[in-house]
Amino acid sequence: MKGWWGKALFIDLGERKIKFMSIDQDVYTNFIGGRGLAIKLLWDLVPLGADPLSPKNVLIIASGPLSGMPLPSSGKLVVASKSPLTFGYGDGSLGTMASHHLRRSGFDAITITGASDKPVYLYIENDKVQIFSADDLWGKDTFETEDKLKERHGKDVGVLSIGKAGENLVRYATITSLKGRSGGRPGIGAVMGSKKLKAIVIRGTKEPEIFDEKELRRLSAEAYEKILKDSNYKFWISQGTMTTIAWSHKNSVLPTMNFKEGTWDSYESISGDFMEKIKVGRRGCPYCNMQCGNIIEDNTGELSELDYENVAMLGSNLLIDDLRKVGELNRLADMFGLDTISLGNSIGFYIEAGEKRMVGEKVEWGDFKRIRELIEEVAERRGIGNFIADGVMRMSMNLGRESESFAMHVKGLEVSAYNCYSTPGMALSYGVSPIGAHHKDSFVIAQEVLRDRLSYSREKVEKVVALQNMRGGMFESLTTCRFPPYEVSLDLNYYPKMLNAATGLSITLDDFKIVTDRIYSLIRAFWIREFGYWSRELDLPPKRWTTQSMSKGPYAGVKIDIEKYDEMLSYYYELRGWNDRGIPKRETLNSLGLDFAIAPLEKIVSLK
């Protein structure tokens, strides 16, 4: 088999057992890799109803056939597990040198089950796996951990690690790499912490066999050059995702005060233009010539790597109007291994609950000092931090039904930084995202604000599906960064061509529709199996968008019409081959080769 190794490493940390599992060619042709491989492995390996923070849960680190190869922006890997935040499928796409090494290790994925009784880290060098004590690393932040492990094992290894947040089982703890890359929003870092696994160090020195290496090199060289010559390249390099702050404000979608408003008069204080004035450098993922990590010196003089979501959720959403201060909060989140989106949401929810006198403490919007303390308390689960560390859904369940009106999450995952009172297509994208309210699968809002913004058309639903097929299906399974086509307009057709050159398959861009249908239907089946029921209510947007509206800007007074949203949702289900409760139909599962999911699901729900 060319392009893949055909096996996964299986580690039981409790039993200290290490073995290799072979993976059939069919799995690769059907699921490709990355997210596709992750959901197939989770479906097969996670025992029914396992507590995500128990030894029974399984952590997956998966590469795809293009990840870590000398191709544009390929330095990503997928981290996935049953999420402790949502109790459904959770994943993240992370830029890291570990992607280069995993691809050269001799296997396509690492699966980790069981739990160690003492802190450990894994050192993987090709087929050789060693489990070392991490007593001296436990309690250390992710930056220091990575430095220490590189001192020990060599500067060029790949390191994935957790900080205090993962150790303390914060439900939105992430996995960090390269001091500023963070992945696994739905608490994948907490799964690592529950296994007492502080870090994974990996060195791979083998080369995967490539079907047509010459063609792959040719495509790659051409694509790198097209990226460099793109008219948007210069601007992208100067601001990266930070340009979105001004865009979001101008389009009334900038999260402000726990998503109460979509505009903020002080937006310029945290904008991409302001950032350019204080920027001291750029960083990025391996194999990337679009390096988009913007480095500034934060409030304390330390380096902090900024992205739009981080700055919006810890800046405008909490009314902190000083980019260096926002930079400090962002750096702390990276060091503790906390997801900035869920963190900004959880603190925003807590502040609003204080305003409404539902909690004892009243924190002022923009109170940097107290917010900074709260972040430390969350990472350590200290005092009120223990409450906030469970995320918005659980805090809201604790405070009672009234608080649902300002609890910004879908299925338990907090909403990314786009406020959707007046963008029903994006609200649907959040509603039907396979991991909860994340923007990565379908960023339909970019087109939506340009045309038919307030419509609930079938065309919009088709766009959501088309974007999911590319972003959530193709890029997450090939496991390369999606920015080259979406930010500098590299032709999407390069990707199936590169896949075919690497593996010998003959896949077209259109074929990714079926691959995505398969991956999404199996992810949905996993949620249903683990929940033990399903209801279309789980695919609705947060109540705030359907019952309230913004008071400022051109879209003041507008809210999501829930009946029309519901019609879009029904059409979405139809396009995916799911029934009117959002459950994959029997014939859909059959036609996608997912018949193995039929019997387990039929024990729980009707597949008609």
Going by DSSP bridges, is the β-strand pair 279-283/293-297 parallel, antiparallel, or unpaired? antiparallel
Question: What is the rounded CA–CA span in Å between residue 319 and residue 260?
Answer: 12
Q: In angstroms, what is the minimal distance from the CB of 366 to ligand SF4?
A: 29
> Which single residue brings its beta carbon nearest to ligand PTT?
92
Distance (Å, rounded) from C-alpha 526 to C-alpha 146? 33
- CB of 76 vs ligand SF4, minimal distance in Å: 7
In the numeric block, which tokens belong to residue 591? 């036609």
Q: Is 345 in the site for ligand PTT (CB under 6 A)?
A: no
Residue with Cβ nearer ligand PTT (390 or 476): 476
List all residues 6 or more positions away from 256 whose beta carbon is below 8 Å from its beta carbon.
262, 263, 264, 316, 317, 319, 419
Mask for 296-335, x = binds ligand PTT (CB under 6 A): ---------x-xxxx----------------------xx-
- Does the footprint of ligand PTT cover residue 94 (CB under 6 A)? yes
Applying CB under 6 A, which part among 2-10, 59-67, 143-151, 287-295 lies near ligand SF4?
287-295
Within residues 353-392, the interface with ligand SF4 by CB under 6 A covers: none
Q: For ligand PTT, which stretch binds (CB under 6 A), given 181-189, 275-283, 371-379, 385-393?
A: 181-189
Is the CB of 293 or the CB of 553 nearer to ligand SF4? Answer: 293
Strands of the sheet containing 197-203, edge to edge, are 128-133, 120-125, 197-203, 158-161, 175-177, 181-183
- By C-beta, is 289 or 570 nearer to ligand SF4? 289
Asked if 76 touches ligand PTT (CB under 6 A), the answer is: yes
Q: Name the residue nearer to ligand SF4 (CB basis): 43 or 236.
A: 236
Residue numbers 442-481 binding ligand PTT by CB under 6 A = 475-476, 481
Q: Is 357 exposed, middle or buried (0-12, 13-18, 19+ CB in 10 A)?
A: exposed
Q: Which is nearer to ligand SF4, 287 or 565 (CB)?
A: 287
**Closest approach of Cβ 438 to ligand PTT, in Å?**
7
Say whether residue 338 binds ligand PTT (CB under 6 A). Answer: yes
Q: What is the 3-state secondary structure (H, E, C) of 115-158?
A: CCCCCEEEEEECCEEEEEECCCCCCCCHHHHHHHHHHHHCCCCE
Residue 291 touching ligand SF4 (CB under 6 A): yes
Pairing of the two strands 109-113 and 7-12: parallel
Strand, helix or coil at 242? helix
CB 302 within 8 A of CB 273: no
Alpha-carbon distance 213 to 453, whole Å?
45
Shortest Cβ 282–ligand SF4 spacing (Å):
8
Q: What is the amino acid identity at position 168?
A: N
Q: Please state the closest distance from residue 482 (CB atom) to ligand PTT, in A.
A: 4
Looking only at residues 232 through 271 of this chain, which bind ligand PTT when binding is defined by CB under 6 A?
Answer: 241
Closest CB to ligand SF4 among residues 440, 576: 440
Interaction partner, residue 601 (ligand SF4, ligand PTT, none; CB < 5-8 Å by kind): none
| Binding residues for ligand SF4 restricted to 292-321, rule: CB under 6 A | 292-293
Contacts of 285 (CB under 8 A, 6+ apart): 73, 75, 76, 95, 96, 99, 178, 181, 481
From 40-48, 93-101, 150-158, 593-601, span contacting ligand PTT (CB under 6 A): 93-101
Least distance to ligand PTT, CB of residue 36, Å? 13
Using CB under 6 A, which residues numbered 509 to 568 contact ligand PTT? none
Return the range that interacts with ligand SF4 (CB under 6 A); candidates 30-38, 144-152, 286-294, 416-424.
Answer: 286-294
Across the strands, what pairs with 10?
19, 111
* Torsion angle defined by CA atoms of residues 571, 572, 574 and 580, in that order, rounded to the nearest 10 degrees: -80
Structure tokens at 460: 């919009």
The site for ligand PTT, by CB under 6 A, has a size of: 31
Q: Which helix or strand (DSSP H or E) is residue 9 part of?
A: strand 7-12
Among 33, 64, 183, 284, binds ligand SF4 (CB under 6 A): 284
Bridge partners, 176 (sequence order): 161, 182
Q: Which residues of 554-573 are buried (b: 16+ CB within 10 A; e: fewer)?
A: ebeebbbeeeebeebbebbb
289 vs 455, beta carbon nearer ligand SF4:
289
Q: Which of the residues 463 through 502 are near ligand SF4 (CB under 6 A)?
A: 481, 483
Rounded Cα distance between 426 and 420, Å, is 7
The single residue listed with the structure tokens 């991490």 is 134
Tokens encoding 607: 């597949």
Residue 204 interacts with which of ligand SF4, ligand PTT, none, CB < 5 to 8 Å by class: none
| Nearer residue to ligand PTT within complex by CB, 57 or 116 | 57
CA-nearest of 409, 442, 405 to 423 is 442
What is the amino acid identity at position 594?
L
Length of the chain in terms of residues written:
608
Residues 74-93 that bind ligand SF4 (CB under 6 A): 75
* Binding residues for ligand PTT (CB under 6 A): 76, 92-95, 174, 180-185, 241, 285, 305, 307-310, 333-334, 338-341, 440, 475-476, 481-483
* Binding residues for ligand SF4 (CB under 6 A): 73, 75, 95, 284-285, 288, 290-293, 481, 483
